[in-house]
Chain A
């Protein structure tokens, strides 16, 4: 961050605000004095095309196969490519070949990828079929186990046809494959340099080497991650920027101040409470839409009182989503009826509000279910909340009085985020709220989350019919038929109500007006490939 040219910004600001004479009189001495000492960093900042973006969330590692965080993927995706990539034309999310030049389905279980010729990793080694095989095996079988290994568990065989052709054979037709193999949210299909993995071992996440438009330069703890352009990038004319710095900032309001004062050019994430402020600032451009996510209040089906399905249903129908959207999401979110969310083209029903499917607010119905519940006395439950996620404790505080109306007394328990995760994972709660984010396929949006005895099924709900529908849908490639199966699974989920689904959230990014050519994709990505600075 030495290369932020504050003096230039300062001089410009002062000259517009105070007029030139005052500037020379008042601040001239300081500027000259500072100039004399010769700051190498400032000279660098004078070069065109150095973007500085605040990254306000935790980044764990830049190893695509091991990160659990979207904030990390935002950067990883500028360094690496996947076999496939996500594209968005403003309406439809698509999966297209990226490192692969062509992608053919030989039969419903066999996929043939022809790779681009001449693509090299940043360390100069070729990105060929061997490298693809290496990366996929690293995810599937590597030690330590990749958190994304499950995405390739159906992958039986990787055959190297020739140095640029690879054939993947799966044990079953695999509908989730396009998501699994893309270099972004899927992570499993991101191709890493085998030579670099060998060289750095577990340190790869601090020394990533990919084929992407930017090369990794440095990562200074709690300070910044620096990238520089890869002049040999395979997409002609890209990237347009010379350098990119992700400034690691924990405090979003400081990042916003830095943006407004011109010290940074953007934020990888703009919290909802700051959106109105940003929209009112003429020099900033907001990018965002409802993304592939859903938020919910989860109920613990393993223990009383929410082992009672009717009580859960009462909760599901008692939540006034409109109020929740206003109170917890500052009116920015969209009411959810079921988990499948708008960017899942082919699966999301734009008319879901009229379809009669899912859950919504109906106090009469809620009271009806409440009267069928086993416990007719006052039910007292605990609700774990933490200052975490996009909404902090706002949902919990809005939900509590709503449940009071159906005779459920909610004790809000505020705990520290790490403790909250522990409590949620070990099932020590009655209620909690959470969000599953950046999903582009119905499979990843409901199956691992609610599979009976699944690791992420924190509510402990069990329904074998649900499992069957999802398992079947996984191996059906026809969209209409898959959709039918997922609707059936969702209907079960919504009816038995281990969760009360609330909203689909918009995810915002903000850039200064100087930043041009940013291609927004509703999967929380910050791809700088096409970005340039005016």
Chain B
């Protein structure tokens, strides 16, 4: 077991190393010069040279990478070119919580809406309700989140004036105001997942409901709700957790657009402006955090299997 854990940690570190080299290299290879962007159009060549030297961009690529990597592992994530702010504070303490909040609320929405909808579709298979849910699921998967976000803003924010269209308040500090601000963005981001979970739940449950133990439960005379919600639905947990772990990347990707549309100061917005401004160290911080998050969640998914399925516990 210990060996297994060590191997997993080793794997994780190797992946993070590869990711860091790749993102650093790709951004350096991409055309575009952070100094030119910082200075705008009206500057002198002296100002340019002076800034390049100050930022250490006159060093060779490997030196820049090694410099960054050594500092990074020691917890010094550097300062951003333009803002001169400490990247660790900005990225980890300020931006990450925003994105995590958005992502967790979206996931919660997705599960709370997607699972019941899927269950009802499965139970009412081939009825008008099922067809309606299928149409909704297809539309939901196909709808680009930025468009949906703007539509929601105009309808709920401007037409009805029900929700704020921008801004972030941490629900951990001020619960109701926080929730109030996060509802529209979370809905926007979760649509895709609601649709996906609905379809997954429906398909899995239809299969489950044909299993002998369901027939047995019915034969025992258990009430219908118990058969479905207790014996049936618990079987969705495994595929659901697996898919959510794998789709976390899509979720994090979705936060980029959602945060931009709703003006939330999270990792997505941070990464967008950092990539456009060629803020190498900020991009690295964002990439490393999301990569770690992705790997971490998938590790948790692996570890959760024995908890979700007793049959896997017995193998030990």
Q: Which residues of A contact B (CB under 8 A)?
A: 1-2, 4, 6, 9-10, 13-14, 17, 33-34, 37, 39, 41-42, 58, 60-61, 67-69, 143-150, 202-203, 205-206, 220-223, 247-251, 253-255, 257-258, 260-263, 415-419, 421-423, 425, 434, 436, 448, 455-456
Contacts and interface: CB of A to CB of B under 8 A. Distances in A.
B166 interface: yes
Nearest to B49: A145
Nearest to B83: A221
A251 B260 contact: yes
Contacts of A150: 44
Query: What 10 A-B pairs have minimum CB-CB distances, sorted nearest first?
Result: A68-B40, A418-B32, A13-B161, A147-B43, A1-B167, A419-B31, A222-B265, A34-B176, A223-B265, A144-B50
Interface string B157-194: 11011111111110000111100100000000000000
Interface stretch (B66-74, B214-222, B269-277, B307-315): B269-277
A111 to B, nearest CB: 23
B180 A149 contact: no
B43 A68 contact: yes
Contacts of B42: 68, 147-148, 448, 456
A253 to B, nearest CB: 6
B7 interface: no
B265 A257 contact: no
B40 A261 contact: no
Given A6-B164, A68-B39, A455-B44, A418 B278 contact: yes
A40 to B, nearest CB: 8
A4 B167 CA distance: 9
A6 B174 CA distance: 14
Nearest to A206: B84
A1 B169 CA distance: 8
B261 interface: yes
A425 B272 contact: no
Contact of A419 (B32, B40, B54, B153): B32
- Chain B interface residue count: which class? 35 or more
A2 B171 CA distance: 11
25 contacts: A2-B174, A6-B164, A10-B162, A17-B160, A39-B174, A39-B176, A41-B174, A68-B40, A68-B42, A145-B47, A147-B39, A147-B43, A149-B44, A149-B47, A249-B166, A250-B273, A254-B166, A255-B263, A257-B158, A257-B165, A257-B166, A261-B158, A416-B32, A425-B36, A456-B41
B154 A257 contact: yes
A39 B177 contact: yes
A149 B46 CA distance: 9
B32 A258 contact: no
B94 interface: yes
Nearest to B80: A221
B30 A258 contact: no
Contacts of B37: 418, 421
Interface in B234-270: 260-263, 265, 269-270
Contacts of A422: 31-33, 36
A436 B168 CA distance: 36
B18 interface: no
Contacts of A423: 31
A247 to B, nearest CB: 7
Interface string B11-48: 00000000000000000001111101111111111111
B260 A250 contact: yes
Given A1-B166, A34-B177, A68-B43, A58 B36 contact: no
A1 to B, nearest CB: 4
Contact of A261 (B48, B161, B272): B161
A247 B85 contact: no
B150 interface: yes
B265 A220 contact: yes
B82 interface: yes
Contacts of B162: 10
A150 B46 CA distance: 10
B51 interface: yes
Nearest to A149: B44
Contacts of A147: 39-40, 42-44, 47
A221 B85 contact: yes
Interface in B69-111: 82-85, 90, 94-95
Contacts of A33: 176
A496 B234 CA distance: 78
B50 A251 contact: no
A253 B41 contact: no
Contacts of A415: 31
A206 B83 contact: yes
Contacts of A10: 161-162
B161 A9 contact: yes
Contacts of B153: 253-254, 257
Given A6-B163, A68-B40, A419-B32, 19 more contacts: A1-B168, A17-B161, A41-B169, A68-B39, A145-B50, A220-B265, A221-B85, A223-B168, A248-B263, A250-B269, A254-B166, A257-B153, A257-B154, A257-B165, A258-B164, A416-B276, A418-B33, A422-B36, A455-B43
A448 to B, nearest CB: 7
A149 to B, nearest CB: 6
B33 to A, nearest CB: 5
Given A6-B180, A10-B162, A261-B157, A249 B263 contact: yes
Contact of A418 (B31, B167, B177): B31
Given A203-B84, A247-B166, A419-B32, A68 B50 contact: no
Contacts of B261: 251, 254
A149 B48 CA distance: 12
B165 A455 contact: no
Given A6-B164, A418-B31, A260 B174 contact: no
Nearest to A40: B174
Contacts of B278: 418
Contacts of B273: 58, 222, 250
Contacts of A249: 166, 263
B164 A4 contact: yes
Contact of B270 (A202, A222, A247): A222
A60 B38 contact: yes
Contacts of B47: 144-147, 149
Contact of B174 (A37, A149, A250, A257): A37
B162 to A, nearest CB: 7
Contacts of B94: 220-221
A130 B306 CA distance: 74
Nearest to A146: B47
A419 B44 contact: no
Nearest to B259: A222
Nearest to B52: A144
B47 to A, nearest CB: 4
Give the interface centre of B84, B161, B270 by most chain A CB atoms within 10 Å: B161
Nearest to A9: B161
